[in-house]
């Protein structure tokens, strides 16, 4: 039996300090335009806020996420909805859904081919895939500064710690077509994203960039984070606080 993957997601921190993830996803629901009674898979549902919004619009929704912590919180918040722990690269559904919806999740799935193949299988013929996720150069200013701090200290394993897949539109839509989708829409969005509070950047690093700090002793971790904050303050700190350099991709594909 395969060993369970360690769950490093802090669901409470996600809900309390990073609600913007779901809030930005609300406009993606408009792009999906769910219809009454449609069966929809919410892939990478997190703690279930958008899953619930889809349900409130009359859809029959199943939310899946690889994180047990996230699913546990989703089930506590929305006990009337269906949630399952499932790896996006190992979807088991076959022609069950009218649509697959995904917000801010696909960039965590570093091998897109099995993910897209599973989405395609999960859709009924004529079904649609609507997603938003991190695109090329997403948070590049933050990660470039992190890389600089690693290199200053002779730490050479930055690339192996990098947790994301941020493709270009051409790269991703090409993979969609290889999976069988007819791509009907794709756009790249610059989205400067406010981070809550004076410690917004620090909290973001704890929540979303934890893999860079695995195995690094606390004193050194704090030293690196402080240096990143100091070096980015001139470019990413505004009157209202920290603003991350987000770049997003939105796509729609149809199953032939």
Do the domain assignments include residue 132? Answer: yes
pLDDT single digits (tens) 96-129: 999 999 999 999 999 999 999 999 999 999 999 9
Taking the C-alpha atoms of 66, 99, 73 and 26 in order, what is their torsion angle to the nearest 10 degrees? 120
Query: Is 254:184 a contact under the CB 8 Å cutoff?
Result: yes
Query: Which CATH number fits the domain that encloses residue 22?
Result: 3.40.50.150
Token pair of 40 as six digits: 């929809």
pLDDT at 91 over 50: yes
- 169 falls within a domain: yes
The answer to whether residue 84 scores a pLDDT higher than 80 is yes
Q: What percent of the chain has a predicted confidence (pLDDT) above 90? A: 86
**Ranges of H-type helices in 39-130:** 49-56, 68-77, 112-122
Give the C-alpha separation, 51 to 62, whole Å: 7
Average pLDDT value for residue range 179-197 = 94
Domain membership of residue 208 (yes or no) is no
Task: Provide the pLDDT confidence category of residue 221 given band limits of 50, 70 and 90.
Answer: very high
SS3 198: coil
Of the pLDDT bands very low, low, confident and very high (cuts 50, 70, 90), residue 4 is: very low
What is the domain range of residue 27?
11-139+163-194+243-255
The answer to the question of residue 146 being in a domain is no
Q: Count up the domains in the chain and report the number.
A: 1
Please state, in angstroms and rounded to a whole number, the distance separating the CA atoms of residues 121 and 179. 10
Query: Whole-angstrom Cα distance, residue 170 to residue 75?
Result: 37
Assigned domain for 209 exists:
no
Which pLDDT tens digit goes with each residue over 170-179?
A: 999 999 999 9
């Amino acid at each position: 039996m395969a060993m369970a993957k360690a769950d490093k997601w802090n669901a409470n921190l996600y809900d309390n300090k990073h609600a913007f993830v779901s809030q930005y996803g609300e406009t993606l629901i408009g792009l999906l335009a769910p219809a009454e009674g449609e069966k929809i898979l919410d892939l990478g549902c997190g703690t279930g806020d958008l899953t619930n919004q889809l349900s409130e619009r009359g859809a029959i929704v199943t939310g899946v996420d690889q994180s047990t912590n996230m699913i546990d919180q989703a089930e506590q918040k929305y006990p009337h909805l269906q949630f399952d722990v499932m790896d996006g690269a190992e979807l088991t559904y076959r022609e069950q859904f009218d649509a697959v919806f995904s917000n801010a999740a696909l960039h965590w799935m570093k091998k897109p081919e099995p993910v897209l193949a599973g989405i395609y299988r999960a859709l009924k013929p004529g079904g649609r895939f609507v997603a938003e996720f991190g695109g090329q150069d997403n948070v590049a200013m933050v990660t470039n500064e992190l890389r600089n701090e690693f290199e200053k200290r002779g730490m050479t394993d930055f690339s192996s710690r990098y947790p994301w897949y941020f493709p270009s539109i051409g790269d991703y839509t090409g993979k969609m077509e290889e999976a069988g989708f007819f791509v009907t829409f794709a756009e790249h969005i610059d989205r400067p994203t406010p981070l809550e509070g004076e410690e917004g950047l620090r909290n973001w690093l704890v929540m979303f960039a934890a893999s860079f700090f695995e195995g690094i002793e606390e004193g050194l971790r704090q030293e690196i984070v402080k240096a990143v904050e100091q070096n980015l303050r001139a470019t990413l700190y505004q009157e209202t606080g920290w603003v991350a350099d987000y770049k997003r991709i939105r796509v729609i594909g149809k199953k032939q």
